[in-house]
Structure 1
Amino acid sequence: MAGIDTLPPLREVIATHGLSAKKALGQNFLLDLNLTAKIARLAGDMSGCDVLEIGPGPGGLTRGLLAEGARRVLAIEKDARCLPALSEIAAAYPGRLEVVNGDALEVDPLAHLTPPIRIAANLPYNVGTELLVRWLTPDAWPPFWDSLTLMFQKEVAERIVAAPGSKAYGRLALLAQWRAEAEIVLTLPPEAFTPPPKVSSAVVHLTALPEPRYPADPKVLERVVAMAFNQRRKMLRAALRGLAPDIQDRLEASGIKPTDRAETVSLEQFCALARNIAAV
């Protein structure tokens, strides 16, 4: 713990380096080091892992990840104003923190990381969902990461873990739950952040499954799910009419009533339908 003990409080770091949060970058800083340490612990045992962090800002979670024993942390930060603060953390943990100034949507983290790899981040709101979808849809499975521990707006977190029949259930739930175990492990109120966002936040922990929960071609499954939820108020026989001329028969063969709507259909049923459609 020597490294973290030598570093100044985050509010002092922000004042010293003039790090006011920028709305355009989706920034809301979490300054309570007890909370950032808790999030780091929720990411699991990191002693033998490299950790990818996106949007570290002044480095609250970065400190937690290093203090909890991460082998190495790669922090990708778009805002160059944060680099001096992150350099101070790197100096306190020699050889264990690499900071890349760049856009997480454009940087290839695998050039900097050695498996096993965990991802832990208080994701910038404006890129969080896009990054999650990328991590859940690689060309090959299992992915390069073992687990994801990610902060989202609470509404997005609820969509990731949603069950059939709920309003939050949709494409994101199916995408996440097809290939990972997903659970909300922490909820945070707006006042935990500086500046406070307008909504509550939640941390989701996802553990990659060795293989998808049910067999299906990823591209076919995505097409079926997209069509179903793009017209979620319609019965599936109408919403999926463009998939096959005999869609009603294919729905029934997959254990789905043609009069069902997308939000009532389980992941297993969607996978069965995707296999049926792939056989056209």
Structure 2
Amino acid sequence: MGTIDDLPPLRAVIAAHGLAARKSLGQNFLLDLNLTAKIARQAGDLGHADVLEIGPGPGGLTRGLLAEGARKVVAVEKDARCIAALEEITQAYPGRLEIVSADALAFDPRPYLTPPVRIVSNLPYNVGTELLTRWLDPGTWPPFWTSLTLMFQREVAQRIVAAPGSKAYGRLAILSQWRSEARIVLDVPPEAFTPAPKVRSAVVHLTARPEPLFEADAPTLFRITAAAFNQRRKMLRAALRGLSPDIEDVLLSAGIAPTRRAEELSIEEFCALARALAAA
């Protein structure tokens, strides 16, 4: 599996610290350090950026990020068992790794980071989508990050980059592509992990747009997409009835036939609908 620094192989680290992956924490550890370095390279030039990593576990990706020249890595880890293993990495990369013992869903990383900021993570499966939607909806735009390079189950990755009309197209595609440029940059087979998951994984790279793709009020757009895809098999006039008693007129004013369904609408059309609903 190769090595990228003078630290012990990850299997030895896991054995020394008793770090059996826990399903309750959504843990699947990457052991191939050449692969973790390759993932780090998908984030672009890290030499002039601070990197936020969620769920570093025994530190495979952490070491990849540091070996690839990250200015600073802030590693947020919920599992207290992993902290000692991560602290060993700080000795090999003095002054460049800050470890935070916290739940990423309840932690504000911004005080720890200096722009530009890149987020690079092998996200725990059980919180990955939740964290992505939070990063895409920070309240103000542009966000505190410039890019996201994230590992997901391949099915989730396909939903992020999906085109209108495809089976995978839904709310996650709209939220991602409205505010960022998203593409799958790497496929990762199950055997790269321990334990090996039952599904393939993929790395998605999202670059924040300076401005959203089309004008729309974010809360209104998010309400529309939530309602539309919650009942995606229904015509829009039925799926969106709870948003306005005059929803058919709102749809027509946006140039959208009320009989169409959510997966048929482009991001531009959803934004037009959001503007029309806000005006109504």
TM-score grouping bracket, smaller chain normalisation:
over 0.9
Q: CA deviation at 1:242?
A: 2.6
How does 1:120-269 map onto structure 2 within 5 Å?
120-269=120-269
Q: Secondary structure at the match of 1:44?
A: coil
Q: Could you say what secondary structure the match of 1:99 adopts?
A: strand
* Deviations 1:133-157, CA, capped at 9 Å, x for gaps: 1100011100000000000111111
**Residue type of the alignment partner of 2:273:** L
Q: Which residue of 2 aligns with 1:108?
A: 108
2:119 aligned residue: 119
CA distance in structure 2 between the partners assigned to 1:110 and 1:246 by the alignment: 42
- What are the superposed Cα offsets for residues 198-255 of structure 1, whole Å, 9 maximum, x if unpaired? 1111100000000111010011111111111111111111111232333223212222
Aligned residue pair count: 278
- Rounded to whole Å, the distance in 1 between the matches of 2:198 and 2:177 is 28
**Aligned with 1:105: secondary structure?**
helix
CA–CA distance in structure 1, aligned partners of residues 133 and 166 of structure 2? 21
Question: How far did 1:12 drift?
Answer: 0.9
* CA distance in structure 2 between the aligned counterparts of 1:24 and 1:187, rounded to whole angstroms: 24
SS at match of 2:52: strand
What SS class does the counterpart of residue 245 from structure 1 fall into?
coil
Letter in 2 for 1:217: D
Q: 1:258: how far off?
A: 1.3
Q: Which amino acid aligns with 1:113?
A: L
Give me the TM-score of the superposition, normalised by structure 1: 0.97
Structure 1 unmatched ranges of 5 or more:
none
Q: Aligned with 1:6: secondary structure?
A: coil
Contact 1:4 1:92 (C-alpha < 8 Å) held by counterparts: no
Letter in structure 1 aligned against 2:26: G
Report the Cα distance in structure 1 between the residues aligned to 2:167 and 2:4, rounded to whole angstroms. 43
Cα deviation for residue 4 of structure 1 reads 4.7
Which whole-Å CA distance do the structure 2 matches of 1:105 and 1:137 have between them? 14
Cα-to-partner distance string for 1:177-212 (whole Å, 9 max, x where unaligned): 110000011111111100001111110000000011
Letter in 1 for 2:6: T
5+ long unaligned stretches in structure 2: none
Q: Secondary structure, in 3 states, of the residue corresponding to 2:183?
A: strand
Q: Which residue of 1 aligns with 2:61?
A: 61
SS class of match (1:62):
helix
Alignment-mate amino acid for residue 212 of structure 2:
P
Note the 1:39-54 alignment, pairs <5 A.
39-54=39-54
Q: Distance in 2 between matches of 1:156 and 1:4?
A: 30
What is the CA RMSD across the aligned residues, in angstroms? 1.1
Counterpart residue identity of residue 221, structure 1: L
- How far is 1:121 from its partner? 0.2
Q: Which residue of 2 aligns with 1:79?
A: 79
Relative to the length of structure 2, the TM-score reads: 0.97
C-alpha distance in structure 2 between counterparts of 1:242 and 1:26, whole Å: 35
> In 1, distance between residues paired with 2:78 and 2:230?
33
Please show how residues 27-42 of structure 1 align to structure 2 within 5 Å.
27-42=27-42
Indicate conservation of the 8 Å contact 1:42/1:149, yes or no: yes
Q: Residue 81 of structure 1: CA displacement? A: 1.0
Deviation at 1:257, TM superposition (A): 1.6
State how far apart, in whole Å, the 2-side matches of 1:69 and 1:128 are. Answer: 25
SS in 1 for 2:53: strand
Q: Secondary structure at the match of 2:98?
A: strand
